[in-house]
Amino acid sequence: MYNLIVGIVIVLSILMIIAIMMQPSKQNSAASAFTGGADQLFGKQKARGFEAVMQRATAIMAAVWLILLFVLVYLSSH
């Protein structure tokens, strides 16, 4: 069981990296590289289309990844 979950976590980690790399960049200028995009944090623009799908997929994969890691910690301690 432990090895199966470790395998799933590894595959999920690779998929999350791919999903994050596929997301379009939101930085328009060199100044936004220094601010870290803080000006867009409270913006009212919602993601649409492909960007929305990628954001949702990344969030779901991250949540599943985190849950699986907690399960691994529990299994390793017992």
| Distance (Å) of CA 41 to CA 19, 35, 76 | 20, 11, 38
In which element (H, E) is residue 11 found?
Answer: helix 2-22
Cβ(61)–Cβ(12) below 8 Å: yes
Within-domain flag for 7: yes
Instruction: Write the pLDDT tens digit of every residue in 41-73.
Output: 555 566 678 888 899 999 999 999 999 999 999
Within-domain flag for 52: yes
Within-domain flag for 33: no
DSSP 38-78: HHHHT--PPP-THHHHHHHHHHHHHHHHHHHHHHHHHHHH-
Within-domain flag for 14: yes
Instruction: Write the pLDDT tens digit of every residue in 14-24.
Output: 999 999 999 88
Structural domain span for residue 3: 1-23+48-78
pTM: 0.70
Q: Is the pLDDT of residue 74 over 70?
A: yes
Radius of gyration of the chain (CA): 17
Number of domains into which the chain is organized: 1
Within-domain flag for 65: yes
